[in-house]
Structures are given as C-alpha cells and as structure tokens.
Amino acid sequence: MRKNTLSKQYQSGKKRNFFKKRTFIFFIGLILGIAVVVSAYLTSVHFSTDESCMVCHVHPHVEDSWKLSTHVNNGSGVKVSCVDCHLPPQLDTWDHYTAKLKLGLKDVWGYMTKDSADFDWDMKSELEHAVKYIPNQSCVKCHQNLFPEGITSDGITAHLYYEENEKKLNLQCISCHLDVGHYNPNYTHSKLAGIPGVTFGVTVDPSMYFQEPTKVTAFEDFEEQIPGTAVTVAMKAIPGGTFQMGSTEKEPFRREDEGPVRSVTVSPFFMAELETTWDQYWAFYAQTMSEGRIPPEDVYANNSNPEVDAISGPTPPFGFPDQGWGGGERPAITMTHYAAETFCQWLSQKTGKKYRLPTEAEWEYAARGGTETPYFFPGSPKDYSNLGFWRKFFDAKTDSISSYAIYTNNSRNRTQEPSVVLANPFGLKNMSGNVMEYCADKYDAAAYSKWADQVKDPLVTEGEEWVVRGGNYASDASELRVAARDYTKHDTWLKTDPQQPKSIWWYSDMRGIGFRVVCEPASAIEQ
C-alpha cells in the first residue's frame, strides 16, 4: 500500500516538474517572440525613415525634387514621407511588410553590387517605371476627398471619371499626377496654353516665312517650303519597284500576320526623310488649332467638305505632349491617326501638292530600301533581341543596330533626335524605332492571304484599327524587323482621357506614336 502511495506521489511530482518545465519554456518562448516582434518593429520603424531611404538611394537630385514637390513644399505644412507613397498602407499589414522586405532586399543588393553612377534615374522616373513603385491604394488612403475646395472644373471631370472607372480600367492616380512626389519642371498638370515656338520664348521673324511652296520639276529629292511658316520638309524620291512583302516562316520572331509573302509592286512616290517633327507639327497647330471643344461630328463634316477653306485642327492638349523630352526635330508624338491625316490635309492645302500617309506597302518598301533581310542593316534578330532564355546570362548585341535605330536598349525610354542615327539605303531615318508610324491602311491580320501572289499598290480599307509600323523607343529589337506589323489600340490609348466625348486629336496613354508623310509625284512635278 505504501509502495503504491509513493509511486503516485512520484508520478504526481514528475507531472508537476513537467508542467513547470513546459511553463518555463512557454514563457521563455513568449519573451523571445515578443523580443523578436519588437525588434522587427523597431527595425522596420528605423528603416522607414526618409533618412534611411536616402542611405541606399544616394541620388541627391531625387531628394531635392522631393523637397520641391507638393508632398513637401505645400501650404498645409504636411510632409509626405518616402514609405507613404512607395509602400502599400500599413493597414494592409501583409502587403505593406512583404513589399517593404522585397524592396529593401532589392535596394540593398543594388547598393552593394551596382555603381549608382550607371543608374539612369531620368528613365526610371518615367511613367512606365514609376507605376511599379507607387501602389494606388497609398494615394487613395491620403486623398480620400477627390473634390476638395478649389478644384477646377477639369479636375472634377477627371475625378468623376476616375471614380466611375477605377476598377474597370485599373486607373492609377500617378498616370495624371506623376510630379506630385518629385518635382519636374517639364511636367504640367493643365491644358497647354499658347503655341510652342510662338508663346514659349522662341519666335520667328515673319519676314522669314516662305511665300510659296517649292517648285518641283523632276522626280528627285526636294525640300518642301510650307508657305506662311519658316518650316520645311525634306522629301526623298523613292523609285517604284517590286519587292517581297512580309516574312518567311524561317525569320526569327515572325508572326502569323506577316505572311504569306507576296510580290508587291509599288509606284514611285516621295517620302519625308524624317518622322514629322515638332517644328512641323506646331506650325500646323498654330494655323488650325481650335480653342474650344468642337463636337467631333462638326469637325469631321468641316474637314471633309471640299468647299471649306479653313481646316479645323487640334484642341489644346492636356500637359506637354512632348513629355518634356524636347521639340525641334524630335518626332511629334501622341497625336491620333485622324490628327495625322488632318496634318496631311493642311500640308496639301498649303503647298498645292497631294500629301498623305503612306500605304503599308509603301512603308515596307521604303523601309527595306532594296534589302531582303529582317533589317535594312546587317544582323540577325536573335542577336539583337532581349527575348529568349540565354538573355538571362548574356546581353544582346547592340553594335550595329544602335547606329540605325532608337529602341529599348539605347533610347533611355524616350524619343531621340534624328541626328543620332544613320539613314537607310533610300536616305530615310528612323524607319526602325523612335516612334511607330501610322499607315493609310486599316489593319487586317489576314490581309496578305487575301491578295493575289502579285499585286500592285494594295490598300486595305476595311477594319477597326489602323496599321502602325516600325516599332518605337520602347520596342524590343524583334519588333523593329521591317516586316513586323502592329496596329492602333484606340480605346486603350485613351484609357485615362476623362473627356466625353474623348479627344479625337490626342492620345492620353500612348507616347511612342507618330507619322511621316508621302507626296504623290503627279501632284508635285510641274510639267
């Protein structure tokens, strides 16, 4: 009996020791857990200060532009910190801390392994990159009242559009408010006032204006003079000929809409040496601009009436359409296909010649310049493209292509002046890259299959979108192939335009689009 009692006491004591041990371990674990959480929190707080951000982000101009922005330099005295914009709100705990960890590790790795002098901060501040680092919910958390006192009528229209379409169109605040976090003197959040070149401090003596267009007496290159302006357009004589349009199935990165290959004959024509420049486009804008919002149907009716002398041109764009990249001979961008056609109509009226957009066949024929390879310059798309498994380990070649094209590997995410590239065999510049160029054709993916094996001067007139060719400054080298086809995305390119009806002149969401003109010889050569 005593033995059983001792056994029970022993077992009871053993259990008490066991529970004491577990309790001890539990409390130790609890204390350690609290210590870890507190340490992690304090570490997070420490590395969430603006000063901490600047340790890795060593570029001083970013700090300076932040201090000049409305997030710091404002009348309310409120200062918005780095993490307020660049991380999801803290209320979204998981998203906030996972994003912080991801960005923190990336920044530390970049700080330790890369030379900050090699970073292209201007390129990284462009909208395409900025949207990756500005969670929209962070904007919404602070700016809960979208209709504050003093908001303009344009602002009300824009914010109503945002409220109605935020989820459906995935609208981002930064698309319209790119400069609120970092001041940019070349960015404006208002309609363009005045006419560039006239009201922006660069004026031309009217005595320098041309009085008459250039007289053309032979099928050869000429410099078109636009009467009433000091602007010219260099035109190249493109001899007619027959070429193989499209690409074979063996061509790298070929797409289905590039075939089947057809033998196409093109009549002679003149083509602009350069994509239409800002100097040329602003001359058109100055003489045709419409101050108010004219209903699109009235514009179409006016411009299609041959009895009407005055052409209705673009309304003022919202902001600087040149994106602050510069004007002059840089290609004019962001205009719609209709605006490009209206420019051609104006140029025809001013010169007495027939100017228009090139057909797709004319464009490819001119771009090839007599060559039959993927590019009009030496090299294979496989060597130049950034696409493919091996590009994770080896960089694409750029030695030859960079001499002829402005594309993703050398553009710094913006257009460049034509002087930095060489011309193709026909003397035309930027037929590959810089900006995509409008054609006169409607887009049909099966267009070539509907043609005969041999065809002359084809033109596709049925379809929803327009053909665009050449690729742009953000394109991969595979998209710069002469046979590569693309088309407008009209609704997508107007996604953030809040106007109703939307603009028929300017795209709000496409920057890499432009055009060049062609001239019909029969209308130009004097007999």
DSSP calls for 41-83: HHHHHHTTSHHHHHHH---HHHHHHHHHSTTTSSTT-----HH
> How distant is the alpha carbon of residue 172 from its chain centre?
15
Q: CB neighbours of 245 closer than 8 A, spacing ≥ 6?
A: 261, 262, 263, 264, 361, 364, 365, 448, 483
Residue 255 lies in a domain: yes
Tell me the β-bridge partners of 72: none
Residue 287 lies in a domain: yes
Q: CB neighbours of 157 closer than 8 A, spacing ≥ 6?
A: 498, 499
Residue 352 lies in a domain: yes
Q: Are 336 and 257 part of one and the same domain?
A: yes
Q: Are 133 and 277 part of one and the same domain?
A: no
Q: Are 169 and 89 part of one and the same domain?
A: yes
How many domains, the chain? 2
Q: Are 76 and 217 part of one and the same domain?
A: no
Residues 308, 159: Cα–Cα separation, whole Å: 38
Residue 381 has pLDDT above 80, yes or no: yes
Reported confidence tier of residue 81, pLDDT bands at 50, 70, 90: confident
Q: Count of residues for the chain?
A: 527
Lowest mean pLDDT among 125-139, 157-171, 504-518: 125-139
For residues 261 and 374, the answer to whether their CB atoms sit within 8 Å is no
Quick one: pLDDT at residue 203? 61
Quick one: pLDDT at residue 63? 82
Reading the block at residue 374, the tokens are: 């993927």
Q: Are 376 and 457 part of one and the same domain?
A: yes
> Percentage of the chain with pLDDT > 90?
54
Question: What are 88-142's pLDDT values in tens digits?
Answer: 887 777 888 888 888 878 877 877 787 777 777 777 778 878 888 888 998 988 8
Reported confidence tier of residue 62, pLDDT bands at 50, 70, 90: confident
Residue 43 lies in a domain: no
Residues 321, 340: Cα–Cα separation, whole Å: 15
Last residue of one domain, picked from the residues 151, 175, 199: 175
Q: Are 132 and 223 part of one and the same domain?
A: no
Residue 15 lies in a domain: no
Return the DSSP state at 391.
Answer: G
Q: CB neighbours of 256 closer than 8 A, spacing ≥ 6?
A: 445
Q: Are 162 and 247 part of one and the same domain?
A: no
Q: CB neighbours of 429 closer than 8 A, spacing ≥ 6?
A: 273, 274, 418, 421, 422, 423
Which residue segment(s) compose the domain that 247 sits in? 209-524
Residue 254: other Cβ atoms inside 10 A: 19
Could you identify the residue written with the tokens 């050569």?
Answer: 525
Reported confidence tier of residue 228, pLDDT bands at 50, 70, 90: very high
Reported confidence tier of residue 6, pLDDT bands at 50, 70, 90: very low
Which residues in 279-311 are b (16+ Cβ under 10 Å) and which e? Answer: bbbbbbbbbbbeeeeeeeeebeeebeeeeeeeb
Residue 201 has pLDDT above 50, yes or no: no
Tell me the β-bridge partners of 395: none
DSSP calls for 428-496: -S-SSBSSEEEEEEEP-TTTGGGS-SEEES-----SSSEEEES--TT--GGGGSTT-EEE--HHHHTTT
**Structure pTM?**
0.87
Residue 340's domain is classified under what CATH number? 3.90.1580.10
- Average pLDDT estimate for 256-260: 98
Reported confidence tier of residue 15, pLDDT bands at 50, 70, 90: low
Reading the block at residue 222, the tokens are: 């000429």
Q: Are 155 and 67 part of one and the same domain?
A: yes
Residue 214 lies in a domain: yes
Residues 86, 108: Cα–Cα separation, whole Å: 16
Residue 33 lies in a domain: no
Q: What are phi and psi of 286, to 5 degrees?
A: -60, -35
Reading the block at residue 146, the tokens are: 């979208």
Q: CB neighbours of 96 closer than 8 A, spacing ≥ 6?
A: 87, 88, 89, 90
SS3 368: helix
Q: Are 158 and 68 part of one and the same domain?
A: yes
Of 130 and 282, more confident:
282
Last residue of one domain, picked from the residues 149, 175, 201: 175
Question: What are 332-368's pLDDT values in tens digits?
Answer: 999 999 999 999 999 999 999 999 999 999 999 999 9
Last residue of one domain, picked from the residues 175, 200, 221: 175
Q: Are 85 and 161 part of one and the same domain?
A: yes
- Average pLDDT estimate for 12-31: 69
Could you identify the residue written with the tokens 């009407």?
Answer: 308
Could you identify the residue written with the tokens 């109503």?
Answer: 160
Q: Are 396 and 337 part of one and the same domain?
A: yes
> Percentage of the chain with pLDDT > 70?
92
Residue 186 lies in a domain: no
Return the DSSP state at 477.
Answer: G
Quick one: pLDDT at residue 308? 78
Q: Are 357 and 229 part of one and the same domain?
A: yes
